[in-house]
Amino acid sequence: MEMMLRNMFQALGKSRSANRLAKKYGLRFGAARFVAGETIKQSIDAVRKLNEDGRVATLDHLGEFVFSEAEAAESADMCIQTLDAIASSGVQSNLSLKMTSLGLDISRDLCVSNMKRILNRARMHNNFVRIDMEDYAHCQVSLDIYRELRQEFDNVGIVIQAYLFRTEQDIADLNELNANLRLVKGAYKESPEVAFPEKKDVDDNLKKIIKQHLLNGNYTAVASHDEAIINYTKTLVNEHGIAKDRFEFQMLYGICEDLQKQLSQEGYKVRVYVPYGVDWFGYFMRRLAERPANVWFVLKNMFK
Q: Which residues are catalytic?
A: 132, 182
SS3 at position 267: coil
- Cβ neighbours of residue 225 closer than 8 Å, sequence gap 6 or more: 251, 252, 255, 256, 259
What string marks each residue from 146 to 185 as x (binds ligand FAD by CB under 6 A) or -? -------------x-x----------------------xx
In the chain, the amino acid numbered 81 is Q
Determine which residue in the list 49, 226, 261, 269 makes contact with ligand FAD, applying CB under 6 A: 226
Only one of the segments 7-15, 36-44, 75-83, 217-225 lies at the binding site for ligand FAD (rule: CB under 6 A); that segment is 217-225
Based on the shown chain and the rule CB under 6 A, indicate whether residue 55 belongs to the binding site for ligand FAD.
Answer: no
Q: How far is the CB of 70 from ligand FAD (least distance, A)?
A: 25
Which of 188, 276, 281, 283 is the binder for ligand FAD (CB under 6 A)? 188
Q: Name, in order, each residue with C-beta under 8 angstroms of 24's C-beta and a sequence gap of 6 or more.
A: none
Give the other-Cβ count within 10 Å of 20's Cβ.
Answer: 12
* Nearer of residues 220 and 250 to ligand FAD, judged by Cβ: 250
Is 246 annotated as contributing to ligand binding?
no
Q: What letter does residue 127 receive in the DSSP assignment?
A: -
Count of residues that interact with ligand FAD, criterion CB under 6 A = 23
Helix (H/G/I), strand (E/B), else coil: 45: helix
CA 152, distance to chain mean position in Å, is 23
Q: Which one of residues 56, 112, 133, 181 is an interface residue with ligand FAD (CB under 6 A)?
A: 133
Rounded to whole angstroms, the Cα distance separating 64 from 19 reads 9
Amino acid identity, residue 237? Answer: V
C-alpha 121/C-alpha 197 separation (Å) is: 40
Cα–Cα distance, 177 to 147 (Å, whole number): 8
Of 12-20, 104-112, 208-216, 248-256: span binding ligand FAD (CB under 6 A): 248-256
User: Which of 27, 222, 252, 274 is close enough to bind ligand FAD by CB under 6 A?
Assistant: 252
Q: Which of residues 266-295 bind ligand FAD (CB under 6 A)?
A: 273, 287, 290-291, 294
Distance CA 188, CA 289 (A): 9
Nearest to 116 by CA among 133, 140, 97, 134: 97
Identity of the residue, 44 or 202, whose beta carbon is nearer to ligand FAD in the bound complex: 202
Contact 83, 47 (CB under 8 A): no
The full DSSP string for 101-129 is GGTTTT-HHHHHHHHHHHHHHHHHTT--E
Q: Is beta strand 247-252 parallel, antiparallel or unpaired with respect to 220-223? A: parallel
- Based on the shown chain and the rule CB under 6 A, indicate whether residue 102 belongs to the binding site for ligand FAD: no
Identify how many contiguous H helices and E strands the chain contains and give both numbers: 12, 8
Q: Nearer Cβ to ligand FAD, position 153 or 253? A: 253
Among 40, 76, 195, 223, binds ligand FAD (CB under 6 A): 223
Selected binder of ligand FAD within 105, 132, 190, 248 (CB under 6 A): 132
Q: Is 271 annotated among the ligand-binding residues?
A: no
Which residue ranges make up the annotated binding site for substrate? Answer: 98, 286-287
| Interface residues toward ligand FAD, by CB under 6 A | 132-133, 159, 161, 184-188, 223-226, 250-252, 255-256, 273, 287, 290-291, 294
Which residue ranges make up the annotated binding site for FAD? Answer: 133, 161, 185-187, 199, 224-225
